[in-house]
Structure 1
Amino acid sequence: MPSAIDLHAHSTASDGTLSPAELVRRAAAQGVRLLALTDHDTTAGLAEAAAAAGPEGVELVPGVELSTLWEGIEVHVVGLWIDPACPALRAGLAAQRERRGARARAMGERLARAGIPGAYEGARALAGGGVVNRSHFARYLVAAGRGRDPGDAFDRYLRQGRPGYAPPEWVGLAEGVGWIRAAGGTAVLAHPGRYRLSAGRLRRLAAAFREAGGEAVEVVCGSHTPAQVQVAAGLARRHGLAASAGSDFHAPCNPWRELGRLAPLPPDLTPVWAARTPRAREGAA
């Protein structure tokens, strides 16, 4: 069902297919009035998105999505209402982009050894000067006839244990949360339903996140099943976390992750936007 609030979306500044301005215009057309741009490890698209938001009647939440590590598991943290000029955040994101570049080159080398030359150059071209990540490699592999679609390419070449996989060396969870807090932002544990963790280990992750200064969990997400929404809601209740909602939009070709296509939050949870913006409170009413 449509929602006026969407706090997780990506543009061509990372692995989305719409420019920041195009993303804002699409969000407006979908009825979204409070939108967060949360590109992977970069804030490069925020200025363009902010310039487009006003004329479209959209309130833009400056955001970012950090890749972090917790007990060897890759965990994503969305930062909302950040100050992109914060020195600590800027330095941290620069280091993350260096790590991403090194990983992308390693993936290209591994794919070349597997008989797929030119993958790094192809992924870099698709990134268009933005952050290179596995989504760009997947799109290149499909174009090269190595997968039916990006999901198939991921499964065949890019997931752990596959020929093109290179292990990440991201910032630790607590340090990443610290960058967001230093920038005046709210740290949100992104899409917990996607982590292949036991119930007990997921609770330990949420506890560690809360202890590090995390304030919210993404309860409703474009990739969450109804059962995963309930699990995420349970984490919010158990650990005293606010609840966020975001489509995790990347491209128009994924209708199940359309901007604003989100179920309502469970009514007993505190929305992460409740104390941040009057427009959000009006949109949620």
Structure 2
Amino acid sequence: MTLKVDLHCHTQHSDGSLSCLELIERAVEKGVNILAITDHDTTSAHEEAAKIAKLLPIEILKGVEISTVCDNQELHIVALGVDVNNHDLQLLLKKNRSIRKERSVKILEKLQKSGLEDLTLALKKIVTGTVICRSHLAQLLCSQGIVKDFQRAFKKYLGKKGKAWVAVQWQDVAKVIRTIKNAGGVAILAHPTKYKLSPTRLGLIIDAFVTAGGEAIEIAYPGLSPSDRAMLIRQVEKHDLAVSQGSDFHHPKTSWTELGAFGVNPESFKVVWQHFNIRA
């Protein structure tokens, strides 16, 4: 039996649009055998997810996507198989959520200074969990009719050249990876080509990620070209890394990020889910 595996997706606990139940039911509908819920900087979905998984033919891995910085580059690290009750992990995630909240306040201030009204109350109606993401702010700008879509929201306001750009100093990658591993998890570099780095720069970042204790990288995800995938496979071979895969699913309307749609041949690679005791 070939397992259908998706190790990167989001719920309403961060910036996904589906509830935990809706997400898991959709995964089952799409034939997913192993699902990792990896909300941004929170593990709050997992208590509910564990209860739901007992009633459905699916294995749920505990996970979280953690924002970090490596050599002045913001990265996302997917932590899989972590003990969600680990004290140090929860302290780290709490700090990241605080950083996110502070950023959102500064962004709202800059939006107001740019000529927009105070959107604080409107944002509170959009955020469904305890994690405030820039995608929530993009959704806010769209819902208010200020921009037509997320791309324009980031280009005009939220991106590095936007009117409301706010730089963030995340916790260092070495600390993040050390905390993940001490919590019993595996540290995976999420969607490496989405940081829009040159191959040389990305190679140096992966070198630093591995030096810090990183054990795997994603090599199957939306928008990855065949040439970029080949480049990532060379990095896997260079560092003897495990590989991971995931849709980075957020919304049902984005059909190009469907659950379970991205995978690798487990016979060709050291796949990260082999680290865990999978019953599927």
**TM bucket, shorter chain:** over 0.9
Q: Identity across aligned pairs (percent)?
A: 37
1:130-209 equivalence runs, <5 A: 130-209=130-209
Answer yes or no: is the 8 Å Cα contact 1:222–1:249 preserved in 2: no
Q: Deviations over 1:183-239 (max 9, x none)?
A: 100000000011122212211111111111111000101232233222222221111
Number of the residue aligned with 1:268: 268
* CA shift in 2, pair 1:197/1:124, >3 Å: same
Q: Deviations over 1:218-262 (max 9, x none)?
A: 010123223322222222111111000000000001101010011
Q: Write the distance in 2 (CA, Å) between the matches of 1:264 and 1:250.
A: 21
Number of the residue aligned with 1:283: none
Number of the residue aligned with 2:96: 96
Q: Write the distance in 1 (CA, Å) between the matches of 2:279 and 2:13.
A: 26
The number of equivalent residue pairs is 279
- Which range moved further: 25-34 or 123-132? 123-132
Q: Write the distance in 2 (CA, Å) between the matches of 1:266 and 1:4.
A: 11
The alignment status of 1:239 with 2:242, answered yes or no, reads no
Q: Structure 1 length normalisation: TM-score?
A: 0.93
Query: Unmatched 5+ residue regions in structure 1?
Result: 281-285
Q: Deviations over 1:115-157 (max 9, x none)?
A: 2223343223211242111000011111111222222212221
Q: Secondary structure at the match of 2:77?
A: strand
Answer yes or no: is the 8 Å Cα contact 1:124–1:132 preserved in 2: no
Deviation for aligned residue 1:19: 0.9
Q: Secondary structure at the match of 1:130?
A: coil
1:55-74 equivalence runs, <5 A: 55-74=55-74
Answer yes or no: is the 8 Å Cα contact 1:6–1:247 preserved in 2: yes
1:6-155 equivalence runs, <5 A: 6-155=6-155
Q: Secondary structure at the match of 2:244?
A: strand
Deviation for aligned residue 1:172: 0.8
* CA shift in 2, pair 1:147/1:102, >3 Å: same
Q: Write the distance in 2 (CA, Å) between the matches of 1:191 and 1:85.
A: 26
Answer yes or no: is the 8 Å Cα contact 2:5–2:263 preserved in 1: no
Q: Secondary structure at the match of 1:165?
A: coil
Q: Write the distance in 2 (CA, Å) between the matches of 1:261 and 1:177.
A: 28
RMSD: 1.6
Answer yes or no: is the 8 Å Cα contact 1:223–1:247 preserved in 2: no
- Which range moved further: 269-278 or 159-168? 269-278
Question: In structure 2, what residue type is equivalent to 1:54?
Answer: K
Q: Write the distance in 1 (CA, Å) between the matches of 2:73 and 2:65.
A: 16
Query: Unmatched 5+ residue regions in structure 2?
Result: none
Deviation for aligned residue 1:31: 0.5
* CA shift in 2, pair 1:239/1:124, >3 Å: farther
Q: Structure 2 length normalisation: TM-score?
A: 0.95
